[in-house]
Structure 1
């Protein structure tokens, strides 16, 4: 977490009052918060998650490396939420940056990726790239 930015972030997964405040911040400050905001998408059932997702989708290029970090982790449940709610809704120019990951999961999923049905959503996203 960036020093001095803690006050801008939701205090917990129920802190939906922070979302409108974050939306009012200047774009540079919002960009600095992206990695920390992404954490609130670990479960889209959390009350704060839909509002945070809305903010993240306004940064289609800037969010890519942070999402790639999660996709290279072992948190298959978080990957499911990111693919189903964030990546699929990004513009093609951003989605295409996940092509290698999506192709790997679609063609050769691990047991856990199969259990989370990541191969199916990966195939669906790949189809939207119309390559």
Structure 2
């Protein structure tokens, strides 16, 4: 079973993005063992929350949102209006934050950034929709 593409909503919040992601993943997770389904859902929700939060806080808002199953993997695409690439900031325990981009990379099989005229789209691919 393939997940429906989730529609883009202007002014999407992190909460709305998580709800769309959960709705897309529920049917896909039904064929997975419970522990694998839970991990995929948790990982996807964390990645989506982080990327949408970054788009809202640093990128001028979300201008693209899509989740889909592709070749046994779960793909998340989130775009914003900034052409500035995401970056990892040096660790400083006295400064809050700075862990999100590393977390997105650690929870995803691959992460790519595609630049275009209206900003950028970050594509995160998570393993585990198919189970053999």
Q: TM-score, normalised to structure 2's length? A: 0.26
Q: Report which of the two has the higher share of strand.
A: 2
Which one has more relative contact order, counting CA pairs under 8 Å at least 6 apart?
A: 2
Q: Report which of the two has the higher share of helix.
A: 1
Q: TM-score, normalised to structure 1's length? A: 0.26
